[in-house]
Protein backbone atom coordinates (compact mmCIF):
# COMPACT_ATOMS: atom_id res chain seq x y z
CA UNK A 1 0.00 0.00 0.00
CA UNK A 2 1.29 3.41 -0.92
CA UNK A 3 0.43 6.38 1.26
CA UNK A 4 0.26 9.63 -0.68
CA UNK A 5 -0.08 13.33 -0.01
CA UNK A 6 -3.86 12.91 -0.51
CA UNK A 7 -4.32 10.77 2.61
CA UNK A 8 -1.92 12.73 4.82
CA UNK A 9 -3.33 16.10 3.68
CA UNK A 10 -6.24 15.48 6.06
CA UNK A 11 -3.67 15.64 8.85
CA UNK A 12 -1.01 17.98 7.38
CA UNK A 13 -2.57 19.94 4.47
CA UNK A 14 0.73 21.67 3.60
CA UNK A 15 2.06 18.38 2.13
CA UNK A 16 -0.49 18.47 -0.69
CA UNK A 17 -0.17 22.24 -1.09
CA UNK A 18 3.62 22.10 -1.54
CA UNK A 19 4.07 18.75 -3.35
CA UNK A 20 0.75 18.23 -5.15
CA UNK A 21 -1.90 15.53 -5.12
CA UNK A 22 -1.15 11.80 -5.21
CA UNK A 23 2.58 12.03 -4.51
CA UNK A 24 3.94 8.96 -2.62
CA UNK A 25 5.37 9.51 0.86
CA UNK A 26 7.92 7.64 2.95
CA UNK A 27 7.85 7.65 6.74
CA UNK A 28 10.44 7.13 9.41
CA UNK A 29 9.77 6.82 13.12
CA UNK A 30 12.54 6.93 15.70
CA UNK A 31 11.51 6.15 19.26
CA UNK A 32 13.18 8.71 21.50
CA UNK A 33 12.13 6.94 24.69
CA UNK A 34 10.80 3.51 25.49
CA UNK A 35 7.05 3.42 24.76
CA UNK A 36 4.74 2.50 27.59
CA UNK A 37 1.68 0.30 27.48
CA UNK A 38 0.04 -0.63 30.70
CA UNK A 39 -3.04 -1.51 32.65
CA UNK A 40 -4.26 -0.35 36.03
CA UNK A 41 -7.54 -0.58 37.90
CA UNK A 42 -8.53 2.70 36.22
CA UNK A 43 -8.02 1.42 32.65
CA UNK A 44 -5.35 1.33 29.98
CA UNK A 45 -2.55 3.79 29.26
CA UNK A 46 -0.31 4.08 26.21
CA UNK A 47 2.47 6.65 25.99
CA UNK A 48 5.72 7.56 24.36
CA UNK A 49 7.88 10.04 22.55
CA UNK A 50 9.18 9.77 19.01
CA UNK A 51 10.69 11.60 16.06
CA UNK A 52 8.66 11.47 12.83
CA UNK A 53 10.18 11.99 9.39
CA UNK A 54 7.99 12.37 6.30
CA UNK A 55 9.93 12.28 3.02
CA UNK A 56 8.76 13.18 -0.48
CA UNK A 57 10.85 12.09 -3.48
CA UNK A 58 13.88 11.50 -1.25
CA UNK A 59 13.65 14.89 0.47
CA UNK A 60 12.71 15.20 4.13
CA UNK A 61 9.59 17.33 3.98
CA UNK A 62 9.08 17.24 7.73
CA UNK A 63 11.12 16.11 10.72
CA UNK A 64 9.36 16.67 14.04
CA UNK A 65 9.70 15.55 17.65
CA UNK A 66 6.55 14.38 19.45
CA UNK A 67 7.29 14.43 23.16
CA UNK A 68 5.17 12.84 25.91
CA UNK A 69 2.10 11.71 24.00
CA UNK A 70 -0.53 9.58 25.70
CA UNK A 71 -3.80 7.76 25.22
CA UNK A 72 -5.79 6.55 28.21
CA UNK A 73 -9.16 4.92 28.44
CA UNK A 74 -11.58 2.39 29.79
CA UNK A 75 -13.39 -0.37 27.90
CA UNK A 76 -16.24 -2.63 28.98
CA UNK A 77 -18.50 -5.31 27.49
CA UNK A 78 -22.25 -5.38 28.06
CA UNK A 79 -24.81 -7.52 26.22
CA UNK A 80 -22.33 -8.53 23.54
CA UNK A 81 -21.17 -4.98 22.79
CA UNK A 82 -17.91 -3.18 23.54
CA UNK A 83 -18.29 0.24 25.18
CA UNK A 84 -15.67 2.72 26.31
CA UNK A 85 -14.17 6.16 26.54
CA UNK A 86 -10.70 7.31 25.44
CA UNK A 87 -8.69 10.43 26.23
CA UNK A 88 -5.65 11.53 24.26
CA UNK A 89 -3.00 14.05 25.02
CA UNK A 90 -0.46 15.25 22.52
CA UNK A 91 2.62 16.51 24.26
CA UNK A 92 5.03 19.05 22.86
CA UNK A 93 5.55 18.97 19.09
CA UNK A 94 8.77 20.52 17.83
CA UNK A 95 9.47 20.93 14.11
CA UNK A 96 13.19 20.25 13.61
CA UNK A 97 13.24 20.83 9.84
CA UNK A 98 10.65 21.28 7.10
CA UNK A 99 10.14 22.24 3.48
CA UNK A 100 6.47 22.93 4.20
CA UNK A 101 6.81 26.34 5.83
CA UNK A 102 4.95 25.10 8.91
CA UNK A 103 5.89 26.11 12.45
CA UNK A 104 5.74 23.94 15.56
CA UNK A 105 2.65 25.88 16.74
CA UNK A 106 0.77 25.44 13.44
CA UNK A 107 1.62 21.73 13.24
CA UNK A 108 0.67 21.22 16.88
CA UNK A 109 -2.69 22.95 16.35
CA UNK A 110 -3.45 20.92 13.20
CA UNK A 111 -2.57 17.61 14.87
CA UNK A 112 -4.45 18.43 18.06
CA UNK A 113 -7.53 19.33 16.03
CA UNK A 114 -7.22 16.09 14.02
CA UNK A 115 -6.79 13.88 17.09
CA UNK A 116 -9.47 15.67 19.12
CA UNK A 117 -11.96 15.22 16.26
CA UNK A 118 -11.11 11.56 15.67
CA UNK A 119 -10.97 10.56 19.35
CA UNK A 120 -14.37 12.29 19.76
CA UNK A 121 -15.72 10.26 16.80
CA UNK A 122 -14.31 7.05 18.26
CA UNK A 123 -15.84 7.91 21.64
CA UNK A 124 -19.23 8.37 19.94
CA UNK A 125 -18.92 4.83 18.54
CA UNK A 126 -17.73 3.49 21.91
CA UNK A 127 -20.57 5.25 23.77
CA UNK A 128 -23.14 3.56 21.53
CA UNK A 129 -21.23 0.28 21.67
CA UNK A 130 -20.33 -2.06 18.84
CA UNK A 131 -20.66 -5.82 18.51
CA UNK A 132 -17.74 -7.95 19.66
CA UNK A 133 -15.97 -8.82 16.40
CA UNK A 134 -15.50 -12.44 15.43
CA UNK A 135 -11.98 -13.82 15.49
CA UNK A 136 -10.73 -16.55 13.15
CA UNK A 137 -14.32 -17.53 12.36
CA UNK A 138 -15.35 -17.70 16.02
CA UNK A 139 -18.26 -15.48 17.08
CA UNK A 140 -18.84 -14.27 20.62
CA UNK A 141 -22.15 -13.53 22.33
CA UNK A 142 -20.89 -11.71 25.42
CA UNK A 143 -17.85 -11.08 27.54
CA UNK A 144 -16.17 -9.18 30.32
CA UNK A 145 -13.13 -6.90 30.58
CA UNK A 146 -11.52 -6.35 33.98
CA UNK A 147 -8.61 -3.93 34.36
CA UNK A 148 -6.11 -4.87 37.07
CA UNK A 149 -2.80 -3.41 38.16
CA UNK A 150 -0.39 -4.49 35.41
CA UNK A 151 -2.72 -6.76 33.46
CA UNK A 152 -6.11 -7.09 31.80
CA UNK A 153 -8.58 -9.95 32.15
CA UNK A 154 -10.72 -10.70 29.10
CA UNK A 155 -13.43 -13.32 29.15
CA UNK A 156 -15.55 -14.04 26.10
CA UNK A 157 -18.57 -16.32 25.65
CA UNK A 158 -18.54 -18.29 22.41
CA UNK A 159 -21.79 -17.81 20.49
CA UNK A 160 -24.09 -20.85 20.39
CA UNK A 161 -23.96 -21.07 16.56
CA UNK A 162 -20.15 -21.16 16.71
CA UNK A 163 -20.22 -23.89 19.40
CA UNK A 164 -22.38 -26.06 17.16
CA UNK A 165 -20.05 -25.40 14.20
CA UNK A 166 -16.93 -26.32 16.23
CA UNK A 167 -18.44 -29.49 17.67
Q: Give phi and psi for 93, each to the nearest 5.
A: -115, 125
Q: How confident is the model at residue 150 (pLDDT cuts 50, 70, 90)?
A: very high
pLDDT at 167: 58
pLDDT per residue as tens digits for the range 120-140: 999 999 999 999 888 888 888
Q: Please compute the mean of the pLDDT values over residues 81-89 and round it to a whole number.
A: 92
Q: Please compute the mean of the pLDDT values over residues 142-153 and round it to a whole number.
A: 91
pLDDT at 164: 61
pLDDT per residue as tens digits for the range 55-72: 999 999 999 999 888 989
Contacts of 27 (CB under 8 A, 6+ apart): 3, 52, 53, 54, 55
Beta bridge partners of 70: 47, 89
Look over the chain and give the mean of its residue pLDDT values, rounded to a whole number. Answer: 90
pLDDT exceeds 70 at position 80: yes
**Can you give the three-state secondary structure of the chain, one letter per residue?**
CCCEHHHHCCCCCHHHHHHCCCCEEEEEEEECCCCEEEEECCEEEEEEEEEEEEEECCEEEEEEEEEEEEEEEEEEEECCEEEEEEEEECCEEEEEEECCCCCHHHHHHHHHHHHHHHHHHHHHHHHHCEECCCECCECEEEEEEEEECCEEEEEEEECHHHHHHHC
pLDDT at 58: 93
Amino acid sequence: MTITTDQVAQLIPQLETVYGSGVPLTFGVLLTEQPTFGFSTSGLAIGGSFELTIAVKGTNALVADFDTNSLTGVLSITSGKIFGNLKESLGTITVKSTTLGVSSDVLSNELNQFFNTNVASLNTILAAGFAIPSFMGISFSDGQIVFNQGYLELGLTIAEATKEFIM
